[in-house]
Amino acid sequence: MESWLDLYDNMGNYLAPSMAKDHPNLPVVKEEGCYYYGADGKKYLDFTSGIAVANTGHRHPKIVQSIKDAADQLIHGPSGVIMYESILELSKQLGEILPGDLDCFFYGNSGTEAVEGALKLAKFTTQRPYVISFTGCFHGRSMGALGVTTSKAKYRKFMQPSHLSYQIPYANVKEAPMGQDPIQYVVDKLEHDFNQLFKHQVTPEEVAAVIVEPVLGEGGYVIPPKEWLQKIREICDQYGILLIFDEVQTGFGRTGEWFAAQTFGVTPDIMAIAKGIASGLPLSATVASHKLMKKWPIGSHGTTFGGNPIACSVALTTLEVFKEEHLVENSKEVGAYAVEQLKKIQDKYDCIGEVRATGLMIGIDVIDAETGLGDGKALKRILDLALEEGVLFYLCGNEGEVIRMIPPLTVTKEQIDDGLTMLDNAIQKYKEELK
């Protein structure tokens, strides 16, 4: 029989090239905890968590058991035809960890679907046609979600969404003029940008929702001041606009609290959650208060696969593992430790710029030492060399110039040390290549 590695060599014949090949499609045969086991027999430390999904670590024994147990009972709903315990118990338990009165759920399979649901819910319940999003944010690639996604123009090229939305710049404290308080600057600028938009392009009465990533993810791991998010909340309240937080990436302990809403002390009206919710099984949810959800009548939104019974059972086990192993606390503690260690690397190399972090959501700028600008080419080489050393990182930023470090929330300080030693070696090698 043909080895799958022969197929791997020709994967371009089988798989749509549109699927991003940002980083090297490492061929793996097994995953466990914080590690991937490569087809080359090597063990790789995983600092990607399968893009912020495997927060409980890969194939946690309780998760594996939970999948098996759930499959012994039910494989498919759908929740529109039958009803089952796991979907109800999960809703009850998620409601307990979500902020405010976010306690009513529409389940889907992907982050994109959760965003799609959030936009539809906002439009239906306000009966207003437009949405405002922030430049650089990523919300998914279906036509609705793409309509508010602006992290890269290539995601829209020749496929521009037909539904109109308006954009406002994301918080950028670096833009603050010398001598001006950067937080006050971004808050004032935000108010100014909203006012300009309302004056020249769309009236607030026509706006159903403002959607924002509380930490800019794919766009480059930018952490806004909490005052900036609070100001968005204030503006939404002033005009009866619904605030949607896209917590697809920031959710489930990633920022050092259960959700970024708690990290920043701002509660949205609608939340989109996915990724870490079920430790790798496809599950997502559009969340709102029951008061808002009940305005969405039967048939106005639906799904065949959303809220799959196995995925819901596994999401319940995920919550159990989080609580037993104190993963939210670990995210905060080990995240802070990782930043301390990264500062040493930053001091050592002129191609490493700013390090930004909240919990275990860490962005490391790779820059051109002469210009100080982001250097996506250097980043790519450094990540390839890091992989040769045995650690897998991901990337983000418009030019792919930010190292995205998002290990499983089970990661230990020793594993952080191992991974960062490998990163240090990789940067050292990169510097030698330049000589």
Ligand X SMILES: Cc1ncc(COP(=O)(O)O)c(C=O)c1O
| Binding interface with ligand X (CB under 6 A) | 51, 110-112, 115, 138-140, 213, 217-218, 246, 248-249, 274
CB closer to ligand X, 154 vs 435: 154
> Which residue's CB atom is positioned nearest to ligand X?
111
Print burial letters for 95-125: b (CB count within 10 Å at least 16), e (below 16).
Answer: bebbbeebbbbbbbbbbbbbbbbbbbbbbeb
CB closer to ligand X, 204 vs 220: 220
| Contact indicator for 132, 165 with CB cutoff of 8 Å | yes
Q: How many whole angstroms separate alpha carbon 383 and alpha carbon 395?
A: 9
CB closer to ligand X, 187 vs 248: 248
Beta carbon of residue 249, minimum distance to ligand X (angstroms, whole number): 4
Q: How many whole angstroms separate alpha carbon 319 and alpha carbon 62?
A: 11
CB closer to ligand X, 142 vs 421: 142
| Contact indicator for 252, 261 with CB cutoff of 8 Å | no
CB closer to ligand X, 151 vs 415: 151
| Contact indicator for 313, 324 with CB cutoff of 8 Å | no
Q: How many whole angstroms separate alpha carbon 288 and alpha carbon 114?
A: 11
Neighbour order of strands in the sheet with 242-246: 104-108, 284-288, 270-273, 242-246, 207-212, 130-135, 165-169
| Contact indicator for 318, 394 with CB cutoff of 8 Å | no
CB closer to ligand X, 102 vs 420: 102
Token readout for 181 is 């308080």
Q: How many whole angstroms separate alpha carbon 39 and alpha carbon 290?
A: 48
CB closer to ligand X, 217 vs 390: 217
Report the DSSP pairing between strands 35-38 and 104-108.
unpaired
Q: How many whole angstroms separate alpha carbon 288 and alpha carbon 19?
A: 32
Beta carbon of residue 167, minimum distance to ligand X (angstroms, whole number): 16
Beta carbon of residue 110, minimum distance to ligand X (angstroms, whole number): 4
Q: Count of CB atoms within 10 A of residue 25's CB?
A: 12
Token readout for 259 is 């959700």
- The H-or-E segment that residue 131 falls in is strand 130-135
CB closer to ligand X, 46 vs 213: 213
Q: How many whole angstroms separate alpha carbon 286 and alpha carbon 352?
A: 38
CB closer to ligand X, 16 vs 83: 16
Question: What's the CA dihedral at 210, 211, 212, 213 to 10 degrees?
Answer: 170
